[in-house]
Chain A
Amino acid sequence: MAENKLNDGMYVIGGLFIAIAAMMFLSPISLMEDDWVTLPLIGLPILGSLLLMGFSSAVPAWRKESISETIKYASLGISLIVLTITSLMMTDILMNVHWANITFNQYMYEVEYNWIESIGAEWHVGIDGLSMPMVWLTALLVPVTIITTWNEKKPWYYHPLLVLMGGCLIGVFVALDFFMFYVFWELTLVPMFFLILNWGGKERKYAAQKFFIYTFSASILMLLGIIILYLLQDPSTANSSITGRSFDMHEMIKNAQQEVILGNIWLGAGTQKLLFVLFMVGFLVKLPVVPFHTWLPDAHVQAPTGGSMLLAGVMLKMGGYGMFRIPISMFPHAVVEFQMLLMIIGMISLFYGAWVCLGQTNLKRMVAYSSVSHMGIILLGIASLQPLGFAGAIFMMFAHGLISPMLFGVAGAFKHHYHTLEIGSMRGMAKHSPWLGGNMMFSWMASLGLPLLAGFVAEVAVLVALWFEFGWWVIIPGITLAITAAYYLWSMQRTIFEGGENTQPPESLGDEKPKDIYLTEKVGLMALAILIVIFGIFPFIFFEMMSGYSSELIESVLLDEISGRWG
């Protein structure tokens, strides 16, 4: 029987090699000198993790334990290679790039290959001031997640899945071709589906299906938008394609920009609005905002710690990233038209998320709703249509990408060591598990926006921009931030401190003695904590390139529309 299994795995590995070889042969993707994206950032994690999983399935069940360490270290190795490359990119060492000075719609590390030539789909990747933070965040979170959840069950599939997830996410952030963008957008669902289904909580079956169907349905609307946008291209531009059209985002943004310079509305007002609505529905569900948020609490509560970390850390940011990359860059007229609507949705989302948090007793559910609330801040930053607001929104995506994985990492550790997620079930954690209590307190402080931590910078930037744009409306977010502080402090009091010396550990622990977190969890969480502090004190590391991107975006696309509105 063992041999039989081994044969299967050999089939897979052989098949993969043949498939890769065939693809190389049919559409030659040669690693050119400057192509630091295709193979190192996307190909390596995806193909590498598939190979690892194929290898694991080849090993018979009774020997799987013996390879688990190898697989873990291999996954960690792959993700660290990706992190190294992106860090070199970010710090201008790999190529001399000044991320803050890139003009709008100009991309670094840009490469184009023919992909499906007949319909004009290309493999077109590039990185600018908007995608660089996201790519780096993804590359960072994958190894951090792997380390934090080092002891997860069935590591021979779990850790490669995390790496696969990271590869797909980077694919979304670097894609400059609508077809490629959509392919990676949907591809991210598959590893997350398996992460929830196989390593999740009790209701994981329901949560995994709901997550997949909900977000897939929403992105179908986005697909409709892509198709309409595709059909609206001038059918004589792409000669190699038999439809005469292409999916090139770079080209479309350029067209939109040129029309703005000429004082026209690209594609016409009605079409812009239609496309804006179609794209925004896809992105708002992913973000998510009220009323499209219902998949998020279920997915988060049921997902394993690692799944939640990547889901909250990066997957939600796909929505925000997509908004900047597509609707805001391409449909300036519609953005200005729908500004109030975006603001109202953002306000509702922000307030409702925080309000619901007050009533939650489940730790993960509370953190999930706080994510909804923070995503409202991103939408508010966008609705302000100010450079500062945009930069604040992008920084919020980044900061939340550091904070929320920490929140979920802490919640996962709590669940792991105390077998419960009830907030009130535990008193005086600081006494029993000082490391866990300390990390929990730190992450909650970061999430409620304590000054000198990363979240504060973003919130202040967005609030200032809101004040400029909407005046006293800024009171609502102000109140909400107070509510945020309230629910975190209240939970903190109930969980970490209250009770003092003679508290009893929760009933769910039974006869066990309360333990503190493992070394791996400490390493992962502390890495995030240090980064949160660093980016809180020195936000300009990324804030500079973000505000560079934002002011370029506003100046080159939106300014005419915004000023035209006032007469």
Chain B
Amino acid sequence: MAYDAVSVEGIKYLLPELVLVSGILTLFIITNLGDAKIRLPLTRLRIPALLGGNRFKWNSDPRLPGVISVFTFILAIAMLIQTLGGDTCNDLVEKFCAETTILTTTGNNPVDLLKLDSFSRLFELMFFLALLLVSAASINRLQADSNPSNDDLDQLLDNRRQVDFHLLLLISGLGMTIVAMSMNLFVLFVGLELASLPIYVMVAFHKESKAGTEAGVKYFITGAISSAIGLYGMSLLYLWSGSLQLSVLEATWAAMATPETLPLFGISLLLVGFGFKISAVPFHFVAPDAYSGASSPVAALLATASKTLGFIGLMRILMIITLPETGDAAVWMLAFGILSVVTMTWGNLAALGSENPKRMLAYSSVAHAGYMMAALVAVAAWKNGSFVENNSGGVMAVELIIGAIIFHLFVLISFKIGAFMVISHLETEDEVTDMSSLHGLAKREPIIATSMFVFMLALAGVPPLAGFMSKFLMVTGIVQVASADVLTNTEIDLIPTFLGMHWTFFLAISIFINSAISLYYYLRIGVLMFFEESTTRLPLPKVSILRFVILLCALATIFLGINSDWLVESAIEAASTLFTNS
């Protein structure tokens, strides 16, 4: 079904986004009620409204903005679930699915703008969940003033910083959902920037830390440059095909007899932009600085939602444009394969030596990006190769792999955010700059320490936690691609069997080797928490909401590992809609 995006039929499909917009307006209006001077968000500028006097006590409460944004995200999720379902998918308990709807521009010759299907809806859900956890964790977090020595009561009761922070979160969420739905490079870019610009600011928001501003500036400059490069790539693609629609680009690519320079150059430039988002080597250098400089909830956002943005871009562009059903090869395959191995190895080796838990988590995030890139390469190899399709009754290998990536991005929300929340909880006591903050945590806070250990094991991929399932699915997909030709041949002996594997088999091997390497630094966290002595035995300051989020994440990590059926079905459903054109 295709609707006009601004018509009544069309707009009802955008209810979650409308909820976000109304959340932004509510946050702006409510926190200015009663004040004679309306403050423009993110500035000190105040516009005289000439009505009222001072603000009320209740709307200058520092916790109010957080509560508003939490409720907005909950409402958005409710609206999202409400838009699901339809004729072809009525059982949401079985799997997450949505009817495919396309929203177009007005006019006689409509251009596809947004596509609402299981793929984009699932990603919307992921973004909302991640943002919900982050905003919930930030309710108690920010002080009214970045300078804690200032004990002016008015300053303490002011919620200016909180309003700004949660406003940025909401705007960023809006941009993310647009990226998830976009069918058009222009919309994709607008969404990407709408999501990224608030994140740049949020990275620099952590003014309590000395590194905060530096991290923000670094992240902003690199991010802006990579966006600009990506934009240049898009313009080259436009120059080449005359359209920014993904479907048109796909058709033009398929019609291309031999690879041409212009689109290849354009695509590679686009990859730079997304490579920065997923922090792939060699665009990963800023990631550790940004993660350690930003406040932990924002770092959690960078490691999950922001990375997911990059992978949506990669899936939309690499999988849709450059991998048509018919037509020529994915030329980027080999280069991307090598990069993926370098990324995961570099990430893990760097994490081995890092003494700052946030930097360690950043490098582990780089390594995870490498795993997922390797999975993308296997998809390309399958589509590109002339394998015997041995799939009577089974799901396609590509759908399994893409499903595994989606699964991984989803479960990252539980354990990656959980890990950053533990660090955030430690930061309520003192700034976390090295591993000594984790020393003896098990004696001070047994539950928090156990949760952290669960997150670490999940990151390492130890069964039966959620991180194992995703790695398992990914490797299964890759091995299926790599061994398709060899294993069915019953005539040959051991060595030829091994040598006959497609080269993507070594991606699976390198994922395994890297998992073994990474286990060392993940376990080390456990050892530090359960073995080393800390200087104090007092429990951490009590922040109920943070504790609640951590326990929720830990339970989700275990639950999604033990009972992953629903999520696997949903992810594979989403993956299969990525490949169906309609």
CB distance from A163 to the nearest CB of B (A): 17
A 127-169 binary contact with B (CB < 8 Å = 1; else 0): 0000000000000000000000000000000000000000000
Q: Is the CB of A228 within 8 A of B392?
A: no
**Given A197-B531, A232-B487, A116 contacting B400 (CB threshold 8 A):** no
Q: Is the CB of A231 within 8 A of B393?
A: no
State which of A18, A187, A198 has its C-beta within 8 Å of the C-beta of B531.
Answer: A198
Q: Is the CB of B490 within 8 A of A268?
A: yes
Chain B hits for A193, CB < 8 A:
523, 526
CB distance from B506 to the nearest CB of A (A): 12
A274 vs B527: C-alpha distance in the bound complex, in angstroms? 36
Chain A hits for B479, CB < 8 A:
224, 227-228, 231
Q: Is the CB of B483 within 8 A of A267?
A: no
Q: Is the CB of A27 within 8 A of B392?
A: no
A5 vs B491: C-alpha distance in the bound complex, in angstroms? 64
CB distance from B474 to the nearest CB of A (A): 10
Count CB-based A-B contacts (< 8 Å).
Answer: 168
A361 vs B537: C-alpha distance in the bound complex, in angstroms? 39
B 502-535 binary contact with A (CB < 8 Å = 1; else 0): 0000001100100110011001101100110000
Q: Is the CB of A5 within 8 A of B539?
A: yes
Decide yes or no whether B394 CB sits under 8 A from chain A: yes
**Given A1-B539, A187-B464, A244-B393, A228 contacting B483 (CB threshold 8 A):** yes
Q: Is the CB of A194 within 8 A of B530?
A: yes
State which of A26, A118, A232 has its C-beta within 8 Å of the C-beta of B568.
Answer: A118
Decide yes or no whether A364 CB sits under 8 A from chain B: no
Q: Is the CB of B519 within 8 A of A57?
A: no
Chain A hits for B493, CB < 8 A:
269-270, 273
State which of B390, B464, B483, B489 has its C-beta within 8 Å of the C-beta of A183.
Answer: B464
Q: Is the CB of A119 within 8 A of B539?
A: no
Decide yes or no whether B51 CB sits under 8 A from chain A: no
Q: Is the CB of B542 within 8 A of A4?
A: yes
Chain B hits for A198, CB < 8 A:
530-531
Decide yes or no whether A205 CB sits under 8 A from chain B: yes
Q: Is the CB of B527 within 8 A of A208?
A: yes
Q: Is the interface on chain B under 10, 10 to 19, 20 to 34, or 35 or more residues? A: 35 or more
Q: Is the CB of B446 within 8 A of A274?
A: no
Is the contact region of chain B dominated by helix, strand, or loop, or is it mixed? helix
- Interface-located stretch among A7-15, A92-100, A431-439, A502-510: A7-15
CB distance from B567 to the nearest CB of A (A): 9
Q: Is the CB of B555 within 8 A of A19?
A: yes
Decide yes or no whether B50 CB sits under 8 A from chain A: no
- Interface-located stretch among A211-219, A294-302, A490-498, A516-524: A211-219
**Given A227-B476, A228-B487, A186 contacting B462 (CB threshold 8 A):** yes
Q: Is the CB of A205 within 8 A of B565?
A: no
**Given A197-B527, A212-B523, A274 contacting B565 (CB threshold 8 A):** no
A235 vs B400: C-alpha distance in the bound complex, in angstroms? 14
Chain A hits for B562, CB < 8 A:
23
**Given A1-B539, A190-B457, A231-B476, A209 contacting B394 (CB threshold 8 A):** no
**A binding-site residues for B, Cβ under 8 Å:** 1, 4-5, 8-9, 11-12, 15, 18-19, 22-23, 26-27, 57, 61, 115-119, 182-183, 186-187, 189-190, 193-194, 197-198, 204-205, 208-209, 212-213, 216-217, 220-221, 223-224, 227-228, 230-232, 235-236, 239, 242-245, 265, 267-271, 273-274, 277
A sample of 6 more A-B contacts (CB under 8 A), given A217-B516, A245-B394, is A213-B520, A216-B516, A221-B512, A270-B494, A273-B493, A274-B497
Q: Can you list 15 pairs linking A and B with CB atoms under 8 Å apart?
A: A12-B551, A15-B551, A19-B555, A23-B559, A23-B563, A57-B447, A116-B565, A213-B520, A213-B523, A216-B462, A223-B475, A224-B508, A242-B568, A269-B490, A274-B494
**B binding-site residues for A, Cβ under 8 Å:** 390-395, 400, 443, 445-447, 450, 457, 462-464, 468-469, 472-473, 475-476, 479-480, 483, 487-498, 508-509, 512, 515-516, 519-520, 523-524, 526-527, 530-531, 537-539, 542, 547, 551, 555, 558-559, 562-566, 568-569, 572
